[in-house]
Amino acid sequence: GGEIAYLVDGLPVNDRLVGGRLGMQIQMTEVREMEIITGGFGADYGEAQSGVVNLVTRDGTTAPSAEVLYKTDNYGYSYPGSTNYDYSSLALSGPEPLTASILPSLGLRLPGRLTYFLSGYGEFTDTHLSMGLSYPPHHTLGMTLRDRQENRYGGTGKLKYQITEAQSLTLAYRKGAER
């Protein structure tokens, strides 16, 4: 397991402390393509000896789009095996509005195409083991939200400037937290 190279958009992201695992969480709404190489790869993959897993994340789209996902095991009543689990994610994509709408209305044209992809998620559960933990509530937009025993959240932003068919420049940022 410690001999597998994990790549996200071609960049290595192995967890160096534990060894051999993916060093970050990638949400399914962010993945465009997954490539698995099990043998016959060259030295360009560095320390990989058993395999290479390359995740390619989504780029922005030419038309605006949105995706919302919500999963829960809380149906208003408690049942055996319930962990008070909630997962939600949001993904937004489309042409970048400044260069797509505002600049052309002023008579300015940027060559090429600029698109964005934004994604955020939150995963909250009390797990199957009661640890008796209690966190102070958060008050946001008139709602009271409480952290649970295990809380993960994060987001991704990606801006892609497609200069020509063969040339592009991408700026990406990813942040995640666990509590």
In eight-state DSSP terms, residue 112 is S
> Given this model, what pLDDT does residue 15 score?
75
Q: Rounded distance, CA 134 to CA 13, Å? A: 33
Share of the chain above pLDDT 70, in %: 89
> Given this model, what pLDDT does residue 131 score?
67
> Given this model, what pLDDT does residue 28 score?
83
The amino acid sitting at 134 is S
Query: Nearest CA to 65 among 119, 8, 122?
Result: 119
Query: Which residue ranges in the chain fall short of pLDDT 50?
Result: none
Q: What is the pTM of this model?
A: 0.79
> Given this model, what pLDDT does residue 133 score?
64
Query: Nearest CA to 60 among 115, 125, 139?
Result: 115
> Given this model, what pLDDT does residue 137 score?
75
Q: Rounded distance, CA 40 to CA 49, Å? A: 10
Other CB atoms within a 10 A radius of the CB of residue 81 amount to: 7
